[in-house]
Structure 1
């Protein structure tokens, strides 16, 4: 009898172990297989949230099939206590394992809201943007000029109070170092002062993610390091016949190209004009250098140049001096730096605005004069209207 009972017990135990093993394998498969989420979602994890609370929300929103399996899997992986506050992008069909990794990995929030402090040539702007999980693109919610709009929009105030809001500083191509430093003063998530004005041209126009409490000096250092890298790489890959003695001269020429054209396709053509002039010993005769001699990069001129200014002997007036000015006149972007060291091969030595936002190029003075006459007609028509 006891032998029969023992045999039945062992049989039952084997069945239980077999079923338990099957359940574990099934649970593991459920945890690692693609999930039911049909569209990417942005999951906001508040400070102090628990894995249980998050698993319920994920289950309610259709991102996971079972909150229980999700929690067991997180416990098995020893990640229950690693939950990170922030806004996390959960991709379509993400498995429970992938979601667990996303919300426990840490780092900067991967979705949600970001505040962009945009430093432009003519003005600065603050934007609040939010990630559209369907398109994967940030979409603008509000924008305002901090110098004009003293009262901050409610949405800006609200997102500034959220721990998971991301912050970014976007530097436009062609801004001056003085403009950058002045605008960084109004970026309220940064701390400290900039001890010394960075050398003109030394800051790379780009988008820089920052965190609340970062110092302004640290942001400037990142901009400098980025520009140093871009310039060194471009100089190493320069054309053999560019009439430039150093990488710094390339930076000076790039800054002039940056200020002369906003049309990306024209940069290398504009570079070819200046390169041809340098090779022939001709003066560059470019208005942006004259303007820099007047403003020293501290703001925009806001009017046309006077004849007296075109004749004034400043170190940057390329109507008066030979060759390049002594310093850059702005902070050029990568494309203008690359154009300066690898210009198009042309015979152009003149260019003038053509009325479309671009320029008309010419090889001879006669051809250039005709282009200038056309531009004067366009100016007169616009003034009449």
Structure 2
């Protein structure tokens, strides 16, 4: 080959015209694009079955995470959304019910729509073993989360039973037996004075025995506190004697403002060695726990003279036991009685009593009370007589 000089630089090797092959393109070939180069050959490692399987697993895992996230998000929306209830509804969850049973009950009662979502939500929040039995009032539109929270916190419907002050233990047991919400039987009547009359709250499924034990515990605690704060110089030597006297005070007056003064009368009489002479003790000695079904005003002379260990017209000091279950106020009245010289009291016709320091004063007060009684009977007879007369035309 020869070199060809040019004015722009060193000579380049000459190209032999014989080696150049000119292939002219047709007009059609000239406008067609050049074909793309083929892709590079794939590595043998990429085509390895293990690599392919791993890639598949990673793809499935990613898709699974995305699906699970979407499902959880949907479930949370369902769990927190408004429920199907249109108005408040009360549902009873029996003791011993598991999550499956509770979910079925709630679905059947129309509180929730999807028991699977409810059970899943309870499990996710780790509350499956925390759901409590009871009677629940679910508000309209309660969400599954609200339902779960109510069951976990035990926000059950509360009922109440009220025991009036002064009731005997037999009366208390009779009331508990008649309450339709309480369950279980009562086979024994507690000792008189062992129960604290109050209002007791409970949930459905509570037993009568549980309420009775609650009343006994409350009385034990209250009596201990009151005895600790008692005044000096009382003629009662033990907490039990305080309850005995308080049960008499309870039956003598229903007015809270009179209890300390009535207690003061009995304390003064005991300190002087006088008999208590309380009518309610006669009734209890004759009729026991059924005494208060008898009209107090109907005490006969024969009953007054009849021998019984509770008749404080015949015995000295306190009777052998309480004549009922006194309330806290009556026990506190005995523990801190009014400081007076009163030795007598009698009804005044207005629901209260008039007090006296001497027997002469007391006799005048009794005479006034007898007149009130006569006037009341006369008025009743007149009203009854008017009722028998024919109506005027």
Same fold (TM over 0.5): yes
Contact 1:254 1:336 in 2 (8 A): yes
Alignment of 1:97-108 (within 5 A): 100-106=148-154
For residue 290 of structure 2, give the secondary structure of its aligned residue in structure 1.
coil
Compared CA separation, residues 192 and 240, structure 1 to 2 (3 A)? closer
Residues 259 and 93 of structure 1, relative CA distance in 2, 3 Å threshold: farther
For 1:357, what is the secondary structure of its paired residue?
Answer: coil
The 8 Å contact of residues 286 and 318 in structure 1, kept in 2 or not, is answered as yes
Give the TM-score normalised by structure 2: 0.61
Whether the 8 Å CA contact 1:254–1:332 is kept in 2: the answer is yes
Q: In the TM superposition, what are the counterparts of 1:1-385 in structure 2 within 5 Å?
A: 44=91, 48-50=101-103, 74=122, 76-79=124-127, 84=132, 86-88=134-136, 100-106=148-154, 110-111=156-157, 169-181=161-173, 189-191=183-185, 193-194=187-188, 197-208=189-200, 209=202, 212=205, 214=207, 216=209, 220-299=212-291, 300-302=293-295, 304-384=298-378, 385=380
Post-superposition CA distance 1:20-76 (Å, at most 9, x none): 9xx98xx89x97xxx9xxxx966536674539967x96799xxxxxx9999986554
Contact 1:42 1:87 in 2 (8 A): no
Which consecutive unaligned segments of at least 5 residues does structure 2 have?
A: 1-61, 95-100, 381-393
CA contact (8 A) 1:88 1:110 kept: yes
TM-score (norm. length: structure 1): 0.62
Distance 2:358 2:221 in 1: 38
8 Å Cα contact 2:246/2:333 also seen in 1: yes
Do the aligned residues in 2 keep the contact of 1:190 with 1:214 (CA within 8 Å)? Answer: yes
Asked whether the equivalents of residues 51 and 71 of structure 1 are also in contact (C-alpha less than 8 Å), the reply is no
RMSD: 4.9
Distance 1:370 1:351, change over 3 A: same
Quote the residue 2:29 is aligned against.
none
Question: Greater CA deviation, 310-319 or 276-285?
Answer: 310-319
* Larger Rg over CA atoms: 2
Q: How many aligned residue pairs are there?
A: 311
Residue 77 to residue 241, structure 1, CA distance change in 2 (3 Å): same
